[in-house]
């Protein structure tokens, strides 16, 4: 649903697609978020 909406809005899905791929490859959520360079909240 999230990806469908992003695609309908012509928004980039690169980061979420990369994140999903990293998770599918067996990486942890923390590693995957760091690897795709998501900013930490304060």
| Domain spans in the chain, listed from the N-terminal domain onward | 2-35
Position 38 scores a pLDDT of 79
Please report the pLDDT score of residue 37 as a whole number.
84
The per-residue pLDDT for 19 is 95
Q: Give the pLDDT confidence score for residue 23 in this predicted structure.
A: 97
Rounded to an integer, what distance in angstroms lies between the CA atom of residue 8 and that of residue 19?
A: 20
Over residues 1-42, the pLDDT tens digits come to 888 999 999 999 999 999 999 999 999 999 999 999 876 766
Of 42, 38, 36, the C-alpha closest to 19 is 36
């Amino acid at each position: 649903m999230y990806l469908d909406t992003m695609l309908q809005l012509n928004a980039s899905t690169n980061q979420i697609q990369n994140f999903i791929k990293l998770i599918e490859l067996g990486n942890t959520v923390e590693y995957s978020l760091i690897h795709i360079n998501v900013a930490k909240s304060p």
